[in-house]
Amino acid sequence: MGPLRINDGESLRCRLVRYLEELTDEEFKKFKLYLEDSSPREGFLRVPRGQIKKADNTDVAELMVRHYGECEAWDVALMIWEKMGLRELWEQFILNICLYFFIFHLTDIGNRRTYRNRIIEKFQLMRDRNSCPGEYENLHHRFTQLLLLQEYRYREQKEHELLASGREHAEIMENQGQLIEVAALFDPYEKTGVHPQIVVLQGAAGIGKTTLARKVMLDWAEGNLYQDKFHYVFYLSCREMNHLREKKTKFADLITNDWPSLEDPMTEILSQPEKLLFVIDGLDELKFSCDEHSFDLCKHWNQRQPVPILLSSLLRKTMLPESSLLITTRLTALGKCDFLFENPRHVEILGFSEEDRWKYFCNFFGDEDKAQQAFSLIVNNETLFTMCFVPLMCWIICTCLKQQMRRKKDLKQSSKTTTTLYMCYLSSLVTPGGRSCPVQHHRGLCRMAAEGIWEGKILFDEDDLRRHGLEASDVSAFLDMHIFQRDTDSENCYSFIHLSFQEFFAAMFYALEEEKEINLLEKCRDSATSFVALTVHFLFGFLNADNRKRLEEIFRCKISQEIKIDLLQWIQAGIEQQHRDSSLRNDLLEIFSHLYETQNEEFVTSAIAHFSEISLNIYSNTPHVSSMHHPVPWASVFHLPPQGIECQSHVGEMVLIVNLKS
């Protein structure tokens, strides 16, 4: 389909030229004067006076169409002719324009419908990270609502700190901003009434940025989102842009990937930029910089330019400045891109609320009984349940449990502790007869993970790899296993699929026979470095004989027995310290959850041998646990009869007196 035409095949732009040619020199001069003085409607740029002065008939038509788009250009011409008293021309125009709008309307409806159908086709299915070719899930069936927090002030905060603060959603909300719905992302600010043109959705790895961006596309295409605001919504994946970075092209061509009949309708579509939304997914993943091209930026979408310049021009708003942008990015990369955006609305994705975690399980299993079976196991494990605020973690946990259900394995056993669940997931990634990683590579990966934990580092470059005896080609087995991923921020950068996996491998580093590092435990005592807590937690998990055996099988490594003595001394000292000082009671809970993680009766007995009674404040520490079936799941490790636990409720707290000698 070509530019919009009326029956005789003449485009509107050419027709405008022809009408202008019918004016006498005097009338044309007058027309230009009126054009110079005309004030365009909101959203349209004024045609620069300097350019009008020098323009002939064709130039004037061209300028008008470029600045206003074809429809608005006709409108302006009509208004001027009316003011000039050129009644005959005006009447001819009206006749033409009615015909034009009728055809335009029909064509536009047709174009949009075709485009929407294409988008629905493309976005209605989602692929899980471990899916086989051709295996898809329906996005609507799986999608679970995410908590979005508006105007969260960007803190120079590392992802591990965010993970640690996962259970403090309510607190963040109170202190930092308010929740917002996807439908309201482009609503005006309450205080100023100004409509944000750029919305930045930020969040940690695996929190659901891409999934949400794709859901926005699908909902718009199905007519359920932003219908009045945006006539067209285009999706630009930064990962795909990376592949095109050497390419020189027009912006119009770049976005017509999703357009079956390409190019032609673009002129009309892009001439109404205020009705366009561009979803730019994964800005942190761009491998080229957007701040290098400030002098070469282009102004028009029809200019042929390298892809990095086109994208920079869109982001910096030199091209299609009236369009809206919805950008997703990891928190770690945000500082680097801040300069790009003028007054964006910052929204942080907080992940799943506690209620939505249950909904996710229902969506994942598609069967309430199975969902209930799985959820009741997770809800009793505080560490796992807290982790479930990250959708990726929910997916990992549900995937494991589903596999166990399929194999008719004991679900309770595989979800009993955080470590068992991770073991279960890792064993599922190692396919029989598949690639395994050489022992020295595994050791290098573990050492790098541990170093990262100390230094608060989650992205590793090739220098980091080399320092730990790894070449880029050595990590391909970990990439294949989906525990390590090629990143994101800059070329040749890597990260673990989730921080908790880095913590798991860091724990393995401390547990390996040849590696000794007692510092970890000392650091864990220091509350300022509580982010190592999960690493220590896994370390306790490795004390379990089954876990240790599986770990040694998967990675063909040897787990040290000596770590057991260090852990025992550490935990006894911890209990003693907190026994002496009742203000530290809350920390005891953490110690006991470590003990529970071992599922090792002999170890637990030794750890508590010197104590006859322990008081724990369970309520103020874990509010959600109080409503669950078993308030202290780890208590089962003591094999205590019910009379062994006495419960005392006080205002705002619930204290359990555990009588260990009963």
Ligand X SMILES: Nc1ncnc2c1ncn2[C@@H]1O[C@H](COP(=O)(O)OP(=O)(O)OP(=O)(O)O)[C@@H](O)[C@H]1O
* Residue 110 neighbours by CB distance under 10 Å: 12
Residue-wise over 191-204: b if at least 16 C-beta within 10 A, else e? eeeeebbbbbbbbb
CB of 214 to ligand X, least distance (A): 8
User: CB of residue 620 vs ligand X: minimum separation in angstroms?
Assistant: 31
Contact 201, 212 (CB under 8 A): yes
Beta bridge partners of 326: 199, 279
CA dihedral over 354, 384, 498, 481, signed as positive or negative: negative
Nearer to ligand X, 5 or 140 (CB): 140
CA distance 438 to 444: 10
As a whole number of angstroms, the distance between CA 605 and CA 172 comes to 40
- Identity of the residue, 356 or 590, whose beta carbon is nearer to ligand X in the bound complex: 356
Q: Which is nearer to ligand X, 352 or 638 (CB)?
A: 352
In angstroms, give the least distance from the CB of 579 to ligand X: 42
Shortest spacing between CB 571 and ligand X, in angstroms: 34
Nearer residue to ligand X within complex by CB, 325 or 658: 325
DSSP 3-state of 404? helix
Query: Can you say whether the dihedral through the CA atoms of 62, 67, 70, 71 is positive or negative?
Result: negative
Q: How far is the CB of 126 from ligand X (least distance, A)?
A: 7
Comparing CA positions, the residue from 351, 322, 314, 315 lying closest to residue 336 is 315
Closer to ligand X by Cβ: residue 331 or 340: 331
Between 135 and 613, CB nearer to ligand X: 135
Which CB, 238 or 450, lies closer to ligand X?
238
**Shorter beta-carbon distance to ligand X: residue 205 or 233:** 205
DSSP 193-247: -PPPSEEEEEE-TTSSHHHHHHHHHHHHHTT-SSTTT-SEEEEEEHHHHHHTTT-
Which residues make up the interface to ligand X (CB under 6 A)? 128-129, 142-144, 146, 203, 205-211, 282, 330, 360, 391-392, 395
Q: Could you tell me the two tokens for 428?
A: 């599922």
**Shortest gap between Cβ of 356 and ligand X (angstroms)?**
8
Minimum distance of ligand X from residue 362's CB (angstroms): 11
Nearest CB to ligand X, comparing residues 209 and 250: 209
* Shortest distance (Å) from residue 142 CB to ligand X: 5
Q: How far is the CB of 327 from ligand X (least distance, A)?
A: 12
Tell me the C-alpha distance between 548 and 511, whole Å: 10
DSSP 127-139: --TTPPTT--EEH
Using alpha carbons, list the distances in angstroms from residue 343 to 109, 298, 335. 33, 21, 14
Is the Cβ of residue 393 or residue 423 nearer to ligand X in the bound state?
Answer: 393
* Residue 131 or 519 having the CB closest to ligand X: 131
In whole angstroms, the minimum distance from the beta carbon of 140 to ligand X comes to 10
Output 4 or 392, the one with its CB closest to ligand X.
Answer: 392
User: 137 has which bridge partners?
Assistant: 126
294-314 core/surface letters (b: 16 or more CB in 10 A; e: else): eeebbeebeeebbbbbbbbbb
CB 386 within 8 A of CB 166: yes
Instruction: Look at the chain and count its residues.
Output: 662
| Closest separation in Å from C-beta 275 to ligand X | 27
Please choose, from the candidates 96, 88, 91, 34, the residue with its C-alpha nearest in 3D space to the C-alpha of residue 70.
96
- State the minimum distance, in angstroms, from the CB of residue 331 to ligand X: 9
Nearest residue to ligand X by CB is 208
- Region of 134 (left: φ > 0; alpha: ψ -120 to 50; beta: rest) is left
For residue 417, give both structure tokens. 């502790």
